[in-house]
Amino acid sequence: MLKTVFGALLLVALLTLSLAAQDTKTVIANASKAMGADNLKSIQYSGSGYDFAIGQNVNPNSPWPKFIDKTYTRVVNFETPGFQMDRIRMQGENPARGGGQQPIVGEQKQTQAVVVNANTPWVQQLEIWMTPYGFLQAAKTNNATVSAKTVGGKRYSVLTFTGKNNAKVNGYINDQNMVERVETWIDNPVLGDMLFDATYTDYKDFSGVKFPTKIVQKQGDYPILDLAITDVKTNVAANIPTATPPPPPPPVSSQKLGDGVYLILPAYAALVVDFKDYIVVIEGPQSEERASAIITEAKKLIPNKPVKYVVNTHSHFDHTSGIRTFMAEGATVVTHQINKPFLEKVAALPHTINPDRLQQSKRKPSIETMTEKKVLTDGNHVIELYHMTGIGHHDGLIMAYLPKEKILVEADAYNPPPQPNPPPANPVSPYNLALVSNIERLKLDVQTLIPIHYPADFRKVTMAEFMRVVGRTTSN
């Protein structure tokens, strides 16, 4: 009797699995046929719209800053996976507000080409597999499952498979068999397990292929791309060039700028100061790897002392992507008060896709704030922190001044050009002019600038160089 019951249950289970597999194949086949994707090997789509610089908002409560995409073209090859994006980008925030290489003068041409290989990051591959047609191909080859879901009163068949980062990828197929939305989660050093979703609406027929004429991508709850598509070509010759891989970064190095004051390079600069009983680091940028390298170098330069403070100049992601590493180290973050709620959120967000040191340590962060001025001192070394005013880059931007050494550490107000002895800028960036204004307002005697975006030639950036760029002979 028990054998008979067990056999019946096993048969039901096998039939259920078989039906689910058939349902998945049916959903994919119906969508592929309706969209004209059965014989699609490549696609080119063009239009215009906007892109947005993630993590570069003017304050932590604002959307990502907007740029105008005067023209936008993307070619996607599904057979030999790869894509190429070409666009003409223009200033979208007037006046300039936030980062993302603002302000743009005139038209900026941008090209990105990726041919997928064994080392291509999953987040780049998603540029292919999150398109409606790439998603259907990926669902077919990655053992997708199907479920029914109602969102906003609309019923969808939801196809789900697991991406190469072990996060789910969901595609929402509407009652017209169109892929209306694709979502997944990717690792972000600031936001952790971050939702990445793309919506596709207003489908039209382009020579037998249904393609959305409205594409919106979001990351971190805000749009990163908003396009109106006007032209689509199918099975075009997708001759995507293979990009030359970047050279490996040079090893971490340091320069002594004064008694107990060190500059850590390359990449984004960090300043390390030897206080009596501890170490102060100015900026924790870029990544956990970079932050760990800064901490290791700081302890090598100044042994047997803990890193007690890390100064965060502002909340832009390239300047905060190493902050969680400093939190895990036990360092207190010093930042402008406008950034505190955001950094508290950053400390609490889960990082399960790629667990970092803070995720593993579960350490509670310590954050100190300032408004207009804060002084760190041990009676010998002095670091004066000032809130920059009148600058559109960020509402809570801090610069650090060392009066004894006459050194000013600044982020994004002046990013030196690569060549030494640069000529005067034309036009002068409003962010450059704001830096001059703040130096004059505070009556700071600056001889050496430490831009966090340090020039690749490692040259000493003098106040004289900066004044020449802004077309001035003196800051007073």
**pLDDT tens across 207-250, in order?**
999 999 999 999 999 999 999 999 999 999 888 888 787 788 78
Q: How far apart are CA 122 and CA 222, in angstroms?
A: 21
Give the residue from 250, 286, 242 showing the smallest Cα distance to 120: 242
Give the residue from 389, 96, 455, 266 showing the smallest Cα distance to 466: 455
> CA–CA distance from 60 to each of 189, 315, 340, 357, 372 (Å)?
16, 7, 9, 24, 18
Helix (H) or strand (E) holding 140: helix 132-141
**pLDDT tens across 325-375, in order?**
999 999 999 999 999 999 999 999 999 999 999 999 989 999 999 999 999
Q: How far apart are CA 73 and CA 55, in angstroms?
A: 24
* pLDDT over 60 at 2, yes or no: no
pLDDT of residue 15: 38
The b/e string for 276-294 (b: 16+ C-beta within 10 A; e otherwise) is eebbbbbbbbbbbebbbbb
Contacts of range 107-114, beta carbons closer than 8 Å, 24 or more positions apart? 107/70, 110/85, 110/86, 111/84, 111/85, 111/86, 112/83, 112/84, 112/85, 113/82, 113/83, 113/84, 113/85, 113/240, 113/241, 113/242, 113/243, 114/82, 114/83, 114/84, 114/240, 114/243
Q: How far apart are CA 49 and CA 57, in angstroms?
A: 19
- Residue pair 67/89 in contact (Cβ under 8 Å)? The answer is yes
Q: How far apart are CA 447 and CA 147, in angstroms?
A: 65
**What domains sit in the chain, N to C, each tagged with a CATH number?**
34-234 (2.50.20), 253-469 (3.60.15.10)
Q: Which two tokens stand for residue 416?
A: 């030196």
Percent with pLDDT over 90 in the chain: 87
Q: How far apart are CA 277 and CA 267, in angstroms?
A: 28
* pTM for this predicted structure: 0.92
**pLDDT tens across 457-475, in order?**
999 999 999 999 999 765 5
Rg (Cα) of the chain, in Å, rounded? 26
Half-sphere exposure of 18 (CA within 13 A, CB side): 6
Q: How far apart are CA 400 and CA 377, in angstroms?
A: 13
- Residue pair 284/270 in contact (Cβ under 8 Å)? The answer is yes
**pLDDT tens across 6-58, in order?**
444 444 443 344 435 559 999 999 999 999 999 999 999 999 999 999 999 99
Burial label, 453 (beta-carbon count in 10 A; 0-12, 13-18, 19+)? middle
* pLDDT over 70 at 74, yes or no: yes
The b/e string for 7-16 (b: 16+ C-beta within 10 A; e otherwise) is eeeeeeeeee
Give the residue from 30, 473, 78 showing the smallest Cα distance to 210: 30
Give the residue from 414, 409, 345, 346 showing the smallest Cα distance to 376: 409
Q: Which two tokens stand for residue 204?
A: 């039209």
Torsion region of 286: left, alpha or beta (phi above 0 gives left; psi -120 to 50 gives alpha): left
- Residue pair 391/397 in contact (Cβ under 8 Å)? The answer is yes
**pLDDT tens across 94-125, in order?**
999 999 999 999 999 999 999 999 999 999 99
Q: Which two tokens stand for residue 244?
A: 């030359």
